Structure 1
Amino acid sequence: MPEHTGLRFTLPAMRILENEHRYLSFLMEEWHELVLWYEQEPLALEEARTRLHKLRQAILEFVEPLKKHTGKEETHFFPLLGNYIGFEQGPLAGIQEEHREIDGYIGHFLHHSEGDIDQMTLEAIRSAVQDAGEAFEVLTVHFVKEETVIFPMGETQLSAKDKERLNKQLNTLIT
């Protein structure tokens, strides 16, 4: 294994989650470029529609690995860590609420961009794209919170047996 991989964590399970964040961030940057295009003035309606098709496709391709990643966290990691630090309040409650918020923004974008995009007004397009931008912002901060608060807790709080079990549970692909 190379000496420097760019990953911060030593626990294999946390490295898996951290690496998935890197991949998801890469995908996010691709569609965020499209979101940023909509901030310019003035916008051409036909170009806005064309780019919305691309943005929708990019987010649809992003959703599957995101759901697999958050599913692994919510099914395996959070319940295990919650046994050590609690569930009802504190960082796990906030992180799980952010998962719901992200799902909401992405779901809202996908709902409002389905159908005949070529009939959408510029106002409707901008409104839908705003939800994609919000999803990007929440995801970016969310990943930082997990990597600075939750993942370090996983490295320090879990027993050796739980660390081993978690590694086996998380060692699956999100693509």
Structure 2
Amino acid sequence: MANGQLQFTEPAVRLLENEHRYLMHLAEEWHAIVLRFEREEDMDRDTALALLNELKTNLIGFLDPLKNHTDKEEEHFFPVLGSYIGFEQGPIVGIQEEHGEIDAYIGHFFHHTRGDLSGLTLDEIRKIVGDAGEAFEVITVHFVKEETVLFPMAERLLRADDLDTLAEKLNTLIV
């Protein structure tokens, strides 16, 4: 994205690209909390606990839009692109594996933040926050891969009628 502009021209691809922008905006909000943990060596436990709760709230708000976006890709975008390039190997396989990896990191974070968190040590809190940090890293690389490999491939290979049908199916809100 140069100068805040979307780079793709096909409506179907632009919809996904625009969703990436929105999701990264949300992710950068909760990632700022992760970065505080990485920078502040001498953080006290009470501050860490408050930040963990804030991080959890932000991740809860991020989860539905992310899930709605990845569901749209898995149900509509990948099958159409896969009909052109195949499903057994190649970029779609890796991208789908990353969807699972993102889910696993976020799921692990939520697993460890269920119930009463008041008994957590500072080290335990830092470890839990690390899962959110890992999720952010995978999401960031994942979006770059989609935007540098899959999206240009879709614009180049898909027929106009497939792109039009795909745009209709993808034109739903993720929030």
Verify same fold: TM over 0.5.
yes
| Structure 2 equivalent of residue 79 of structure 1 | 79
Structure 1 residues 60-69 or 37-46, which shifts more? 37-46
Contact 1:113/1:125 (8 A) holds in 2: no
| Structure 1 equivalent of residue 30 of structure 2 | 31
Which aligned segments of 4 or more residues in structure 1 are displaced greater than 6 angstroms? none
Deviation at 1:5, TM superposition (A): 6.6
| Structure 1 equivalent of residue 11 of structure 2 | 12
1:130-145 mapped onto 2 (5 Å cutoff)? 130-145=130-145
| Structure 2 equivalent of residue 21 of structure 1 | 20
Return 5+ residue gaps in structure 2 as ranges: none
Deviation at 1:123, TM superposition (A): 1.5
What fraction of aligned residue pairs are identical, expressed as a percent? 60
Structure 1 residues 120-129 or 15-24, which shifts more? 120-129
SS at match of 2:5: coil
| Amino acid across the alignment from 2:152 | P
Deviation at 1:159, TM superposition (A): 1.0
Task: Name the CA distance, whole Å, in 2 between partners of 1:112 and 1:151.
Answer: 35
SS at match of 1:38: helix
Return 5+ residue gaps in structure 1 as ranges: none
Task: Name the CA distance, whole Å, in 1 between partners of 2:160 and 2:17.
Answer: 19
1:106-145 mapped onto 2 (5 Å cutoff)? 106-145=106-145
TM-score relative to the length of structure 1: 0.96
| Amino acid across the alignment from 2:12 | A
Contact 1:52/1:117 (8 A) holds in 2: no
Task: Name the CA distance, whole Å, in 2 between partners of 1:168 and 1:58.
Answer: 30
**Number of aligned residues:** 172
TM-score relative to the length of structure 2: 0.96
Deviation at 1:136, TM superposition (A): 0.2
| Amino acid across the alignment from 1:97 | E
| Amino acid across the alignment from 1:152 | P
Deviation at 1:113, TM superposition (A): 1.2
SS at match of 2:49: helix
Deviation at 1:114, TM superposition (A): 1.4
Deviation at 1:119, TM superposition (A): 1.7
| Structure 2 equivalent of residue 172 of structure 1 | 172
Instruction: Give a deviation string over 1:90-142, Cα, whole Å, max 9, x none.
Output: 10000000000000000001111111122211121111100000000000000
Task: Name the CA distance, whole Å, in 1 between partners of 2:111 and 2:133.
Answer: 15
| Structure 2 equivalent of residue 155 of structure 1 | 155
SS at match of 2:118: helix
Task: Name the CA distance, whole Å, in 1 between partners of 2:4 and 2:117.
Answer: 42
Task: Name the CA distance, whole Å, in 1 between partners of 2:150 and 2:25.
Answer: 21
SS at match of 1:6: coil
What do you get for the CA RMSD once the two structures are aligned? 1.0
Structure 1 residues 116-125 or 89-98, which shifts more? 116-125
